[in-house]
Chains A and B, each alone.
Chain A
Amino acid sequence: MSNLRLINETTGTSVSNISVTDVFSSDYDIYKIVISNVDGASTSHWTKLRLINSSGSIVSASNYDFAMLETKAWDGTSENKRTSQSSFEYIFIDSDSNVGAGGVGYIFNPTSTSSYTFTLGQSQAFYSTNGGEGTKYIGALKQTASMSGFQLLRTSGSYDTITIRTYGLRVDS
């Protein structure tokens, strides 16, 4: 049996945000998040990520730090960094309808009450007519509170489709 365990698959159609709830537990310290089948309903927009705490509430306090290297096929790279934000900004930019986008990220220690919740990952999409655009990012939610899930939030408009698979990495054989 694989030590990479599929915990949850959530799909969205014609939604502006999508929550993946009750996926983090003491069974795992590291989670792999695979985002696929993404189509935006309008011109490309960024997607943010916010954690959901153990009470089921979305964490919107200004405790998110984030750094992202934006890779642009038409313009090289640019740096984005934020501290004390209300979300992890710039997880990925989606594409116009029928183009697609995808990404893979990890979340570390979300249920620990003595650690921050950390994330890192990469994505690739196609930005409007400009060309291919990707991200390489890191982030920390500077709270020592237990998290149970997360939400992806489009900054404007909606996703035609989106699929999120959440895996846990078992450390025991």
Chain B
Amino acid sequence: MGLVRVNKAVGDGTASNLTVTGINTDDVYMVAFSNIFASANDDMQIRVTTSGTADSDSEYDFASKDLKTSGSFGNTYGTNNNNIDFSAGIGTSGTNSHNGILYLFNFNNSSEYSFITHENVTTRDDSSDELFGFQGGAAHTVAEANDGVQFFLTGGNNIDSGTVTLYKVV
């Protein structure tokens, strides 16, 4: 397997989202992200983009197994949501940062849905410092072409650090 870098976005404290676009073939794409943390404790979600703009329609179905070190593992899921939930809280330093891998399928196909598998790991926001990660998948249930993904903080805080890189799998 090889990877060809398509695009990257770097958190610098000036925005509450990181967007990577450039999907324009029917190949599988991969997104790798590391050391994402925020200006204040917050939750992170993702959306697909169409022509560079994040889709906020209520067309996201998702489910994940939530691995953690306290209590029983959980399940995060939903249908017809307006984003994909894939964080249980990130913090304000590298010790509470968000890291993970996504695979993107069918994004360039305008006659099929777009699909995502994801796995991630963090130690939750500064107060708990609990190891936590989602392993799951999602579908954007619209038959349209999507060209990327957007990571965003639901509380509107800025992303102070982190790199999101989009690769084509070749």
- Between B133, B135, B163, the greatest number of chain A beta carbons within 10 A of the residue's beta carbon is seen for B133
B142 at the interface (CB under 8 A from A): no
Given contacts A137-B67, A139-B131, contact A144 B94 (CB under 8 A): yes
- The segment from A11-19, A40-48, A108-116, A124-132 that touches chain B is A108-116
Interface 1/0s, chain A 156-173, versus B by CB < 8 A?
000000000000011111
Q: Which residues of B contact A122 (CB under 8 A)?
A: 119
Q: Are A171 and B135 in contact (CB under 8 A)?
A: no
Q: Which residues of B contact A4 (CB under 8 A)?
A: 1-3, 167
- Between B4, B65, B101, the greatest number of chain A beta carbons within 10 A of the residue's beta carbon is seen for B101
Given contacts A3-B4, A144-B95, contact A138 B35 (CB under 8 A): no
Q: Are A67 and B8 in contact (CB under 8 A)?
A: no
Closest residue of chain B to A107, judged by CB?
A: B99
Chain B count of residues within 8 A CB distance of the other chain: 37
Size category of the A interface is 35 or more
Q: Are A120 and B120 in contact (CB under 8 A)?
A: yes
Q: Which residues of A contact B135 (CB under 8 A)?
A: 69, 120, 136
B72 at the interface (CB under 8 A from A): yes
Closest beta carbon of chain A to B96's beta carbon, Å: 8
Helix, strand, loop or mixed for chain B's interface? strand
Q: Which residues of B contact A79 (CB under 8 A)?
A: 72-73
Given contacts A3-B4, A4-B3, contact A66 B131 (CB under 8 A): yes
Q: Are A68 and B69 in contact (CB under 8 A)?
A: no
A152 at the interface (CB under 8 A from B): no
Closest residue of chain A to B69, judged by CB?
A: A81
Residues 74-100 of B at the A interface (beta carbon under 8 Å): 93-95, 97, 99-100
The complex places the Cα of A109 from the Cα of B73 at a distance, in Å, of: 25
B123 at the interface (CB under 8 A from A): yes
Q: Are B2 and A116 in contact (CB under 8 A)?
A: no
A72 at the interface (CB under 8 A from B): no
Given contacts A30-B34, A109-B35, A138-B121, contact A171 B5 (CB under 8 A): yes
Q: Are B170 and A106 in contact (CB under 8 A)?
A: no
Where the two chains meet, the residues of A that have a C-beta atom closer than 8 Å to any C-beta of B are: 2-4, 29-30, 65-69, 79, 81-83, 106, 108-109, 112, 114-116, 118-120, 122, 136-140, 142, 144, 169-173
Where the two chains meet, the residues of B that have a C-beta atom closer than 8 Å to any C-beta of A are: 1-5, 8, 32, 34-35, 65, 67-70, 72-73, 93-95, 97, 99-101, 119-123, 129, 131-133, 135, 163, 165, 167, 170
